[in-house]
Amino acid sequence: MTIIPNSIEGRDIAYQMHPNVNLRKYEKTGGVVIESGDGIYVFDNNGKRYIEGLAGLWSVAVGFGEKRLVEVARAQMEKLPYYHTFAYKTHGPSIELAEMLIQMAPVPMSKVHFTSSGSEANDLACKMVWYRSNALGNKDKKKIIGRIKGYHGVTIASGSITGLPRNHESFDLPLDRMVHTSCPSYVHFGQENESEAEFTARMLKDLEDLILKEGPETIAAFWGEPVMGAGGVLVPPDGYWEGVQKILKKYDILLVVDEVICGFGRTGNMFACQTYGIEPDVLVLSKQISSSYMPLSAILMNDSFYQPIADESDRIGVFGHGFTASGHPVATAVGLENLKIIQERDLVGNAARLEEQFLSRLSELAKHPVAHSSRGVGLLGALEINPFADGKVGDAALAVAAALEKEGVIARAVGEAICFCPPLIITAEQIDEMFDALQRALDAVA
């Protein structure tokens, strides 16, 4: 496609450096200009309509164009467009949202601290873990265990906990304090003739071996997404989380659960901690917390995590951390209204009710000659594509994603998988519309 220099696409190439792309390739191809959104659909500048099969970036739970959020943002902008939460000041929207999150939390939590992105939240949770170890006099208990294919963001600490080479290479990551254990994806790492139960046992042994090798007294926390999202929608095998928690308790290691994708209904429960029986010390939330209408994230911590941090701030005189936008009043007001909508419209129930249809359509499509297998939970799923015999890893999934986009559905290719995470407002008919398009895309690639 020829790009006219003065067109919007041309000016985009001329002036904007995009995240997460091959920059040289982008200079040649440019991107699709998305202009507006309505419900589960977005529209490009040529008027083409797409189902947003990934809810933007796994985040727009209530769909695009939700007027209640627009109205709350406008009203808050007029009343108090900005204020901070530093230096003994606070404001209503941040207080109300913090209270609501404590009431909703899947396990008893004591305090909420607001940030603006998932990366910032994980980064700060990591700093808090270190601060707490210092407060308790455990100066050597600082290592963090992440997992291969785990994704927790891109800042220096969160990017180091992330277990994806593409986020490390040439950035001089990960930091030395971060170590990674095996990825519990049976479909990718199960060995020949190994049952799923045997695989789980091996994953747990890998974790315990790593702890013993590093020295349990040096390890502060384990970090994990209940279902790995950006790593390719990797659903944990039965018994995995139960086993992980037993090991962490045995060695006095904190559990930080990253529900940036899973939180607020995605797995058919309000939190994936409920789906998998996980009891975190720290819970990291973002994305669906505000349906990403405003940048917002939150760290929830239990009392035994919070108290030593509070004591240390008393000793030093300050908890020396905070952002200009921590608890931003417009973001927290929008978050609060968004969570009210999720509750009032029972979007969590919608995800639970549609799970069977969503997953069975995917597993039907997995029988297509181009496809290998499917997986998922709630309204989060992936179709694994057979690699091209003569291509690089990921070529086949990229080809399917491109064909799907032509059919009017945006989804995400990760490795050899096509990932789906539609807005929670999706209906049964729209799930069929999305997967009918996938069927045509698979036919086109075959």
d(CA 177, CA 61): 35
d(CA 56, CA 410): 9
Q: Evaluate the omega torsion of the peptide bond into residue 174 and state whether it is cis, within 30 degrees of 0.
A: yes
In whole angstroms, the minimum distance from the beta carbon of 152 to ligand PLP comes to 5
Residue of the chain from 286, 290, 291, 350 that contacts ligand PLP (CB under 6 A): 286
Phi, psi angles (nearest 5°) of residue 217: -70, -10
Check binding of 223 to ligand PLP (CB under 6 A): no
In whole angstroms, the minimum distance from the beta carbon of 147 to ligand PLP comes to 11
Q: Which stretch binds ligand PLP (CB under 6 A): 63-71, 87-95, 257-265, 314-322?
A: 257-265
In whole angstroms, the minimum distance from the beta carbon of 313 to ligand PLP comes to 25
Residue of the chain from 129, 220, 244, 261 that contacts ligand PLP (CB under 6 A): 261
Check binding of 264 to ligand PLP (CB under 6 A): no
Q: Which residue is nearest to ligand PLP (CB)?
A: 118
Check binding of 377 to ligand PLP (CB under 6 A): no
Tokens of 135: 């407060």
Residue number, 275 or 445, with CB nearest to ligand PLP = 275
Interactions with ligand PLP, residue window 104-163 (CB under 6 A): 117-119, 122, 151-153
Residue number, 9 or 120, with CB nearest to ligand PLP = 120
Interactions with ligand PLP, residue window 423-442 (CB under 6 A): none
Check binding of 55 to ligand PLP (CB under 6 A): no
Check binding of 306 to ligand PLP (CB under 6 A): no
Q: First CA to last CA across the chain, in angstroms? A: 24
In whole angstroms, the minimum distance from the beta carbon of 406 to ligand PLP comes to 25
Residue number, 152 or 180, with CB nearest to ligand PLP = 152
Sort residue 63 into left (φ over 0), alpha (ψ -120 to 50) or beta.
left
Interactions with ligand PLP, residue window 224-253 (CB under 6 A): 225, 229-230
d(CA 360, CA 32): 31
Tokens of 103: 């009431």
d(CA 100, CA 112): 10
In whole angstroms, the minimum distance from the beta carbon of 204 to ligand PLP comes to 22
Check binding of 85 to ligand PLP (CB under 6 A): no
Residue number, 308 or 327, with CB nearest to ligand PLP = 327
Neighbours of 363 (CB within 10 A): 15
Angle between helices 240-250 and 196-214 (to 10 degrees): 20
**Eight-state DSSP code of residue 389:** T
Residue number, 288 or 350, with CB nearest to ligand PLP = 288
Closest of 168, 163, 202, 193 to residue 179, by C-alpha: 163
Residue of the chain from 9, 52, 66, 258 that contacts ligand PLP (CB under 6 A): 258
In whole angstroms, the minimum distance from the beta carbon of 273 to ligand PLP comes to 14
Q: Which stretch binds ligand PLP (CB under 6 A): 223-231, 299-307, 320-328, 436-444?
A: 223-231
Residue of the chain from 164, 260, 298, 401 that contacts ligand PLP (CB under 6 A): 260
Contact of 328 with 294, CB cutoff 8 Å: yes
Sheet with strand 254-258: strands edge to edge: 111-115, 297-301, 282-285, 254-258, 219-224, 143-147, 178-181
Residue number, 30 or 229, with CB nearest to ligand PLP = 229
Contact of 182 with 189, CB cutoff 8 Å: yes
Q: Is 81 exposed, middle or buried (0-12, 13-18, 19+ CB in 10 A)?
A: exposed
Q: Which residues contact 65 (CB under 8 A, 6 or more apart)?
A: 36, 37, 38, 39
Residue number, 154 or 203, with CB nearest to ligand PLP = 154
d(CA 186, CA 192): 11
In whole angstroms, the minimum distance from the beta carbon of 260 to ligand PLP comes to 3
How are the residues of the chain apportioned to helix, strand and coil, as percentages rounded to the nearest 5? 45, 15, 40
Query: How many of the chain's residues bind ligand PLP (CB under 6 A)?
Result: 15
In whole angstroms, the minimum distance from the beta carbon of 330 to ligand PLP comes to 17
In whole angstroms, the minimum distance from the beta carbon of 118 to ligand PLP comes to 2
Residue number, 135 or 414, with CB nearest to ligand PLP = 414
Name the site residues for ligand PLP (rule: CB under 6 A).
57, 117-119, 122, 151-153, 225, 229-230, 258, 260-261, 286
